[in-house]
């Protein structure tokens, strides 16, 4: 599978069979490039405009925004785990769905706007992850210190930070990625994409930053 990053919390995952899964596309959001991305499935962690921007996708994607198990095709399962957008059980910002995609022998998680440390039940539902897309910027989500603790609790093989300040959203009250990278003593790799297979996932760096794709 191949993961690409469009900025904020917006990723696509392309499977070997050509199916494309989009995660949390943004709509009209700060100065991020406007998108027209082809996707077969769109996973939306919650309905804020920076995470449910279906206008950034070409028509036809099947949208999933609910917890539970969603079996979409042979060898392709999505599990949504109920979490919160804040540290007060949703009373500040509402609910959030932490999605886990199982395909090609891999388990890939997208934490959405996770705003708290998962409890024991949530950790068990999420389970081991080969790849975790994790917010690190704070204010609206967990911050860099909490992100480090989530990594300790889940022990993912590869972590891809997201939801941090970039040159596209300088006025957004979140931290940049450097704070998280400093805490985990990782380099800012800025890879254009990451290709992962079950046979070689352990050969990837423990933390990978992806370049934000240019407007397309």
| DSSP-assigned states of every residue in 136-161 | -S-SSS--HHHHHHHHHHH--SEEEE
pTM of the model: 0.97
Strand partners, 159: 132, 207
Q: pLDDT tens across 142-165, in order?
A: 999 999 999 999 999 999 999 999
Let me know: does 48 contact 72? Beta carbons within 8 Å: no
Phi and psi for 5 in degrees, rounded to 5?
Answer: -120, 130
Per residue in 68-83, pLDDT (tens digit) is: 999 987 779 999 999 9
Kindly report the average pLDDT of the chain as a whole number: 96
CATH architecture of 2-203: 4-Layer Sandwich (3.60)
Token representation of residue 186: 């990782």
Q: For the chain, which residues make up each domain, given as ranges?
A: 2-203
Q: What Cα–Cα distance (Å) separates residue 49 from each residue in 2, 13, 24, 32, 180?
A: 25, 21, 9, 13, 25
Please say if the pLDDT value at position 141 is more than 90.
Answer: yes
């Amino acid at each position: 599978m191949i993961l690409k990053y469009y900025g904020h919390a917006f990723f696509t995952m392309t499977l070997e069979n050509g199916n494309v899964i989009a995660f949390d596309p943004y709509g009209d959001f700060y100065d991020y490039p406007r998108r027209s991305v082809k996707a077969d499935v769109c996973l939306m962690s919650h309905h804020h405009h920076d995470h449910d921007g279906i206008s950034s996708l070409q028509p036809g994607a099947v949208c999933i925004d609910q917890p539970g198990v969603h079996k979409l095709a042979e060898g392709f399962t999505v599990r949504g785990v109920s979490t919160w957008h804040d540290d007060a059980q949703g009373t500040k910002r509402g609910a959030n769905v932490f999605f886990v995609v199982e395909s090609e022998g891999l388990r890939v998680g997208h934490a959405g706007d996770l705003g708290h440390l998962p409890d024991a039940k949530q950790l068990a539902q999420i389970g081991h992850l080969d790849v975790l897309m994790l917010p690190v910027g704070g204010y609206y989500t967990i911050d860099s210190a909490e992100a480090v603790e989530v990594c300790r609790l889940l022990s993912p093989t590869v972590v891809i930070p997201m939801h941090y300040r970039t040159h596209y959203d300088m006025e957004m009250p979140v931290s940049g990625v450097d704070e998280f990278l400093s805490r985990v003593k990782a380099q800012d790799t800025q890879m254009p994409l990451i290709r992962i297979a079950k046979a070689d996932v352990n050969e990837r760096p423990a933390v990978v930053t992806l370049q934000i794709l240019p407007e397309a």
